[in-house]
Amino acid sequence: MATSDAAPAAPLPPKTSTFTFGATTHFGSSEASRITLSVANYPFKNAHGDADVILQTADTVDFYVHRPTLRVASPLFKSMFDLPQPTPADSNSGDKPALPVIPITENAQTLDQLLRMCYLVRNPTFRGIMNLSPVLGAALKYQITEATDALTEKLLSFRQSLPLQVFAEACRHDLEDVAGQTAAAFCGQFGANNGQRTILPMHAMDEYTPGMDDVLASSYYRLLHYCAKHAAHTSSSAVSIPKFCSRLAQNFAPLRIGEKDQAFHPFCLLHSCPGDYNSCASLSSSL
């Protein structure tokens, strides 16, 4: 895989006409007739003059890309390119054919990182969840499987240190498997102390991260409900992992204080013994 980002001298890009992909309405007949703030960095600046389509980001940056590459990487782009396209009108008959411009909703940073995972160039580095999240969302949106798998694996690498943030991202992107693995990491690990079963707490049950602002209350309820059951059972295998991201009701009806099933009521345990899973387990067994 090539890793050099050095760009050869770039020829002038062909004149372009802006139109909505798959539509017949043109918004300009030449590059001069539309507003362009900038062109993306190599390899998306048409350095070799062989690009055949332009992706224009929400912050008005043009990415000169190649349909064959996008067709292989993304079934969604393949379907789009298979649609009959109008022929943009050229301002001068002697000019190169104008390139179609496809407006997209992602910003330039997100698109740059995503496209680098499709081209034979150095892959981007993701140092945190905030940086990774929009790229993962775009990979899912455009059905780019290889990028989605790599980004999901990277997201999971944060589950021990930042489980609640990973859980929030999993719910946001409807990644049930990631949410389930992360819930187990958030709730704690099973261990033994003088022959007695115990739970080694990983994170406080009342922990908070701003990413939870975008998570459904029902998903957070299921997480606490799972932790409560996790603390009360004798082994991790005894606790089934719910569907955290689903919007469908799953028999999590509120319980009345005083019922024996209070042991599994997440908000009761949260207020009774926040962060202390072993005390929660003791409380559960005494009810």
Q: What percent of the chain has pLDDT over 70?
A: 60
Average pLDDT of span 56-63: 95
pLDDT at 139: 98
Q: Assess if residue 193 is contained within a domain.
A: yes
Is residue 196 included in any domain, yes or no?
yes
| Residue-wise pLDDT tens digits, 24-50 | 233 333 444 455 579 999 999 999 999
Tell which wins on pLDDT, 159 or 202: 159
- Identify whether residues 123 and 247 lie together within a single domain: no
Q: Are residues 25 and 127 in the same domain?
A: yes
What is the model's pLDDT at position 92? 52
Asked whether residue 168 is domain-assigned, the answer is: no
Q: How many domains does the chain have?
A: 2
> What is the span of the domain harbouring residue 104?
16-150
Compute the half-sphere exposure of residue 182: CA atoms within 13 Å on the CB side of its CA: 31
CATH number at residue 123: 3.30.710.10
Residue 7 in domain: no
Lowest mean pLDDT among 50-54, 128-132, 275-279: 275-279
The whole-number average pLDDT for the span 194-201 is 48
For residue 161, being part of any structural domain is answered with no
Residue that wins the pLDDT comparison between 212 and 33: 212
> Do 137 and 184 fall into the same domain?
no
Domain-embedded: residue 246: yes
- 136 with 31, same domain: the answer is yes
Give the residue from 150, 185, 220 where a domain finishes: 150
The pLDDT value recorded for residue 90 is: 52
Whether residue 269 is contained in a domain is answered as yes
Do both 144 and 178 map to the same domain? no
Query: Is 90 exceeded by the pLDDT of residue 279?
Result: no
Strands across the sheet containing 53-56 = 16-18, 99-103, 53-56, 61-65, 38-39
49 sits in the region (left: phi over 0; alpha: psi -120 to 50; else beta) called left
Q: What is the mean pLDDT of the chain?
A: 75
